[in-house]
Amino acid sequence: MYHRIVKKIVLQNFERFGQGDYESMLKGMSPLIIHTFSGQHTLGGTRHSIPAMRLWFAGFFRG
């Protein structure tokens, strides 16, 4: 049952993300997040907060 609930939440978040709604994903993130995206470019680096993730997502969707 737990697996089914988690799967539903994850799929909903990815659907929203695909539509450009990253705020839905941010609502479910821990304030203690550590997110690393490798590469020597503007999206590369490590983020340690929800506001930093918000900026990263905005850059991701700007392209």
Residue that has been written with the tokens 């850059």 in this structure: 59
Diameter of the chain by CA atoms? Answer: 41
Residue 4 has pLDDT above 90, yes or no: yes
Domain interval for residue 7: 2-62
Q: What is the mean pLDDT of residues 27-46?
A: 94
The three-state secondary structure class of 57 is helix
The predicted structure's pLDDT at residue 54: 96
pTM: 0.77
The predicted structure's pLDDT at residue 28: 85
The predicted structure's pLDDT at residue 51: 97
Residue 63 has pLDDT above 80, yes or no: no
Residue 44 has pLDDT above 80, yes or no: yes
Tally of domains within the chain? 1
If 0-12 CB within 10 Å is exposed, 13-18 middle and 19+ buried, where does residue 19 land?
exposed
Name the average pLDDT for the chain. Answer: 93
